Structure 1
Amino acid sequence: MAIKLKDFQKRWLPKINDVLENEIIPDTDQETLAQSMSYSVNAGGKRLRPLFSLAVLTSLGQSIDHDILKACCALELMHTYSLIHDDLPAMDNDELRRGKPTNHVVYGAGMATLAGDGLQPLAFQWLVDNNLPSAIKSELVLELAKAAGPHGMVAGQADDIHFEGTKLTLSGLQKLDRNKTGALIRYAINAGLIIADVPSTQRKDLLKFAEAYGVAFQIYDDILDVVGTEQQIGKPVHQDATKNTYPNLLGLDKSYAVLQTTVNSARQSLKSASETLSSDLSLLADFCNYFEFKDEK
């Protein structure tokens, strides 16, 4: 019987949070730094990225031990580092994240910068400080480095800064978002495939799903900045007036339409992946329900 996302989250969210709450401080040799790192990691969040990795493994019938769980949680460290730096005064200068004061508001810009600096290499440490096969550890590190680095997330952040105030074409916006947001979501799916030792020739369709999901995730976030509330999304809204977003480029109605088309594409890729992998991927399909608007439109 297919596993429902709600049941899956009920099982794995406490385990993810337990790792993140208890295993950062022992790996940190400075008390304030440890507190600053833990503050942002444990400030809340959907834990979407580690859940994606674990959902792939579950869908493929792979058992999950503590080593695998911690390796999947490493991505949350990388993601949080990016949020801390994105909120800094030199970047977006945001004072609220997930309904709480941002790291630099609490600990100062210098310590917040160091907290991000600490979380990034700790993510790689968690990928290799375990009993997973060496080939799997090596591939995880390589793929995370590419996804998070200057050919992935950092490049997207750089484009976001460089082109602020300059109206991008649709293809330029897609490139920015593919790197800034999509790269780590794609890695989350890829990490599950790598740990499950799925041959690279059989990963294509599921990675297409990940790429489409990343696009949809950013479009949805862009729309929420227009129609959402601070209470709903845990950070200030209407902050993207000068930025390159789908509503700013296409308008709100067109953004909704592109979002729906993108989610449909993600679902179609899952159907193909299910055939390729001979697996029930309905759990992953449930993640697409995140994009269902109720009264916002």
Structure 2
Amino acid sequence: MINSYQKYLDDVDKHIKHHLSLNDVSDRIKESSLYSISAGGKKIRPLLLFKTLRALNHELSNGVPMAAAIEMVHTYSLIHDDLPAMDNDDYRRGKLTNHKVYGEATAILAGDNLLTESIHLLTLADYSNDVKVKLIETLTSAAGQNGMISGQMNDILSTNASIDYETLEQIHRHKTGKLMVAPVISAAIIANQNEDVIATLQRFAEELGLLFQIKDDLLDVQGTKEEIGKEVGTDEKNNTTTYVSLFGIEGATDLLKKKEKETTELLYRLKDEIDIIHLEDIITIVVNRTK
């Protein structure tokens, strides 16, 4: 399923590495930034962008710069999430976290660098100025106070607190969901889709983001360190409310199945507009992943 996209996922890595090697840069910050970029990972967001382009019958190579920018923002968020002031994790993607290798100060700057350079990369991309503006707006809105940052802040504020399902869902619609929506909307912008298609794709991606998070919470208690590439049980250690802590493993599994059905139903509303089989595939990947 993923093999047909591997060339483009590899191109994303190459594009980032090339960009981070441009001009005079601090060897230390370049090394630290590339350490986390090169750590592997699922690359689910670039894959989602490429699958959406394929569903829209558009050339996949046109998505490489935007997929690279999204992966840079995602990696920056992981570097910062792992810091002692946040989740305080020692491992990520099976390797020591950035701050464990380079120290906290360098890790903070590496995250800042990836975030800033993601926008720089897009300004240099071979898109029309109109498309560039729309893509930068999509990315920064997803990553900033309207998206991931607010979700992360509310997640921190909910630590050691009792929150309900609706509050938890709102947190993850922003913290996880917005950066899952960004690749889908970006692909639609690149492929010049109409507003109706974009609106339905957005709703699909929003539910896919929640589906991803529910599975993440289950993996935190059911996975192994070898499988997920980091310590298990970190949510419980940090006293973080999750779908598992609210509903138990069985309840969270039932919710995963319910959300899978809802996400698929939203996608099927587009069956006469796009080739939905490529996005059906990613629902399966999210639900069945082991890391």
Q: Same fold (TM over 0.5)?
A: yes
1:266 aligned residue (250, 263, 266): 263
What is the TM-score normalised by the length of structure 2? 0.94
Contact 1:164 1:244 in 2 (8 A): yes
Aligned amino acid, residue 282 of structure 1: I
Match of 2:193 in 1: 198
Instruction: Report the Cα distance in structure 2 between the residues aligned to 1:264 and 1:133, rounded to whole angstroms.
Output: 38
2:159 aligned residue (148, 155, 164): 164
Given the alignment of the two structures, is residue 6 of structure 1 paired with residue 2 of structure 2, yes or no?
yes
- Give the total of aligned pairs: 289
Instruction: Report the Cα distance in structure 2 between the residues aligned to 1:88 and 1:221, rounded to whole angstroms.
Output: 19
Contact 1:96 1:235 in 2 (8 A): yes
SS at match of 1:23: helix
1:195-239 Cα offsets, whole Å, 9 max, x none, are 111122321221111111100100000001111110110000011
Moved more, 42-51 or 103-112: 42-51
1:223 aligned residue (208, 218, 222): 218
Task: Report how far residue 68 of structure 1 moved.
Answer: 3.6
Moved more, 11-20 or 224-233: 11-20
CA RMSD of aligned residues (A): 1.8
Match of 1:30 in 2: 26
1:84 aligned residue (79, 83, 107): 79
Match of 2:242 in 1: 245
Structure 2 stretches lacking a partner, 5+ long: none
Match of 2:36 in 1: 40
SS at match of 1:273: coil
Task: Report how far residue 58 of structure 1 moved.
Answer: 1.7
Instruction: Report the Cα distance in structure 1 between the residues aligned to 2:84 and 2:48, rounded to whole angstroms.
Output: 31
Task: Report how far residue 21 of structure 1 moved.
Answer: 3.5
Aligned amino acid, residue 247 of structure 2: L
Instruction: Report the Cα distance in structure 2 between the residues aligned to 1:265 and 1:171, rounded to whole angstroms.
Output: 17
Contact 1:53 1:191 in 2 (8 A): yes
Given the alignment of the two structures, is residue 50 of structure 1 paired with residue 8 of structure 2, yes or no?
no
Aligned amino acid, residue 71 of structure 1: M
Instruction: Report the Cα distance in structure 1 between the residues aligned to 2:81 and 2:141, rounded to whole angstroms.
Output: 19
Task: Report how far residue 273 of structure 1 moved.
Answer: 1.8
Task: Report how far residue 270 of structure 1 moved.
Answer: 1.2
1:255 aligned residue (248, 252, 255): 252
- Percent identical pairs in the alignment equals 34
Match of 1:185 in 2: 180
Aligned amino acid, residue 253 of structure 1: E
Instruction: Report the Cα distance in structure 2 between the residues aligned to 1:255 and 1:182, rounded to whole angstroms.
Output: 18
Counterparts of 1:63-142 in structure 2, within 5 Å, are: 63-65=59-61, 68-142=63-137
Task: Report how far residue 19 of structure 1 moved.
Answer: 2.1
Instruction: Report the Cα distance in structure 2 between the residues aligned to 1:91 and 1:156, rounded to whole angstroms.
Output: 13
1:165-190 Cα offsets, whole Å, 9 max, x none, are 10111110001111110110011111
Contact 1:68 1:132 in 2 (8 A): no
Question: Structure 1 10/219 Cα, relative in aligned 2: closer, same or farther at 3 Å?
Answer: same
Aligned amino acid, residue 216 of structure 2: D
Task: Report how far residue 284 of structure 1 moved.
Answer: 1.0
Contact 2:148 2:175 in 1 (8 A): yes
What is the TM-score normalised by the length of structure 1? 0.93
Task: Report how far residue 28 of structure 1 moved.
Answer: 6.2
Contact 2:212 2:287 in 1 (8 A): no
Structure 1 stretches lacking a partner, 5+ long: none
Instruction: Report the Cα distance in structure 2 between the residues aligned to 1:70 and 1:20, rounded to whole angstroms.
Output: 8
